[in-house]
Amino acid sequence: MIGLGIVPQQTSFNLPRLFTVILVATLMDIASFLPAWGELRVDVTRGTVKPLPIAITNFIGQTPQEVQLGQSIAGVIKTDLERSGLFQPIDKKAFINVESSLDTVPRFQNWRILNAQAMVQGRVTFSADNRMRAQFRLWDVFAQQQMVGQVYTTDSSNWRRIAHIVADTIYKRVTGEEGYFDTRIVYIAETGSLIRRIKRLAIMDQDGENHHFLTDGSSLVLTPRFSPTRQEITYMSYHGDVPRVYIFNIDTGRQEVLGDFPGMTFAPRFSPDGNAVIMSMAQHGNTEIYTMDLRTRREKRLTRHSAIDTSPHYSPNGKKVVFNSDRSGTQQLYVMNADGNNVRRISFGKGRYATPVWSPRGDLIAFTKMIRGRFFIGVMGIDGKGERLLAKGFLVESPTWSPNGRVIMYFREIPKGSKGGKESKLYSIDLTGQNEREILTPMDASDPAWSPLIP
């Protein structure tokens, strides 16, 4: 309760005016809250986290070939979106009446009954030169509006990639983030016994399709990483029993050793512009971080410390480098400028931290953490704050980000049998810690690296 006494004075001219002004101002105070009463306003501060129900119809076609391909494309789109964990494709058996034309507005009530919040329809046609024309529309069922529609024309052999691109387009339009379905994974395919383990460089689409090997297994290979153009891969190989960093060109199949360093080089990664490789070199018992300019072939030493400095990774803008070092006594994460200055520690939790990877978004760093004999995959802010552990296991290691910074892939080793055997598989997990899924590979797999999106 606010009390205000107003007593005009007889002798003063200014005071009444002053009081009047005060009164008016006070009344304005009252008035200031009145607009807030002018409407029924509901603040919603909580929601749910569940996949978006989406209806994906088979792409229609005229000929049996078009119909068959339309079904295949819809199937790939459905699988992509479903695996993301953000979409829940509705079973086609529940569809009431699928539109037979792409040129008419759908009967939204038929999809609303299914609680489909989005609906995808498309069409496939072949031209005389066997080129494929695929077009699709994404509809917002509740708002009864088209959200996006596109047409692609390409060789029919690229139908899988077209399906991934359509899935990326839908993903981006619904979530606001870039998709990651039109990407590839390079990893180490492992076969053979523990004693005579064969490790080969392998590459596949992010959904496990189009799998093939890049190396024959004659040399042990580790830690493959994509270049920004995703046409090259840098990795470490024990070719000739000397561990060195190599670069492999996917188009030509040609591989070359990166520089003639006196010591062992390992843990390579490309710079964001693709013009340099940052890596570790061990010499005389000391491991430091170096960069090599791929144009001038000049190397530059970034760290100078008696401790082991390794696993460097550039920030997306190339101005910072995160790495791990045991200079504090235990293995921890550090960030420094790209020229090696301004080194500062960012991890202070219990346990050891390794294999840091800067998010493509730039706001997080993924890492492997070891504590009390357990391994974890986690993320933290670039200042080390807000650590969250996403996955754990007997051995989980080597995180790699999807190009949109939303998903992390890693490998998991699981003990197998009583003779010290093990199996190794790839997994992916959403940044939220949800939707952990195995990435199917033909054999044991480790050291995955996610490619950028194809420009």
Partner 1 sequence: MSLALHMAVILVSIFALPHIQRSPAMEEIPMVVELVSIASETNLPTKLETKIEPQMNEAKPLQPTITESKPKSVPPQPRPQPKPKPEPKPKPEPKPKPELKPKPELKPKLKPKPKPKPLTKRKVKPALPKRLAKVTPRRKPKPPDPFELVLKNLAQEIKTTKLAKKTEKKDKKQVRKSDFELKISRALTQQHIGEADSERITMTEMHAMINTIRTAIIPCWNIQPGAKGAQNIIVVVRASLSPDGRVKRAWVANKGSFLKDSFKLAAAETAQRAVLNQACQPFKLDPKKYDIWRDVTLSFNPSEMFGR
Nearer to partner 1, 196 or 385 (CB): 385
Nearer to partner 1, 24 or 94 (CB): 24
Cα 276 from Cα 247, distance rounded (Å): 12
Nearer to partner 1, 25 or 128 (CB): 25
> Whole-number minimum distance, CB 118 to partner 1, in Å?
9
Nearer to partner 1, 37 or 252 (CB): 37
Nearer to partner 1, 42 or 128 (CB): 42
> Whole-number minimum distance, CB 269 to partner 1, in Å?
23
Q: In the 8-state DSSP scheme, what is residue 193? A: -
Q: In the 8-state DSSP scheme, what is residue 260? A: -
Counted residue by residue, the chain has a size of: 455
Helix residue spans in 88-221 (DSSP H): 108-112, 159-175
> Whole-number minimum distance, CB 178 to partner 1, in Å?
9
Four-residue CA torsion sign, 49, 51, 54, 59: positive
> Whole-number minimum distance, CB 378 to partner 1, in Å?
15
Nearer to partner 1, 172 or 422 (CB): 172
> Whole-number minimum distance, CB 36 to partner 1, in Å?
5
- The two structure tokens encoding residue 170: 């839908």
Q: 357-393: buried (b, 16+ CB within 10 Å) or exposed (e) per residue? A: bbbbeeebbbbbbbeeeebbbbbbebebeebebbbeb
Binding site for partner 1 (CB under 8 A): 1-10, 12-13, 16-17, 20-21, 23-32, 34-50, 52, 86, 112, 115, 117, 140, 142-143, 147, 172-177, 361, 363, 405-406, 430-432
Cα 159 from Cα 134, distance rounded (Å): 9
> In terms of C-beta density within 10 A (0-12 exposed, 13-18 middle, 19 or more buried), how is residue 108 classed?
middle
Nearer to partner 1, 147 or 338 (CB): 147
Q: Bridge-partner residues for 408, per DSSP? A: 401, 429
> Whole-number minimum distance, CB 103 to partner 1, in Å?
24
Residue 359 in contact with residue 408, Cβ under 8 Å? Answer: no
> Whole-number minimum distance, CB 1 to partner 1, in Å?
6
Q: How many CB atoms lie within 10 A of CB 85?
A: 20
Report the first-to-last Cα separation within the chain, whole angstroms: 65
Nearer to partner 1, 7 or 128 (CB): 7
> Whole-number minimum distance, CB 180 to partner 1, in Å?
13
> Whole-number minimum distance, CB 452 to partner 1, in Å?
17
Cα 116 from Cα 98, distance rounded (Å): 13
Q: In the 8-state DSSP scheme, what is residue 418? A: T
Cα 271 from Cα 6, distance rounded (Å): 74
Q: In the 8-state DSSP scheme, what is residue 191? A: E
> In terms of C-beta density within 10 A (0-12 exposed, 13-18 middle, 19 or more buried), how is residue 14 classed?
exposed
Nearer to partner 1, 28 or 128 (CB): 28
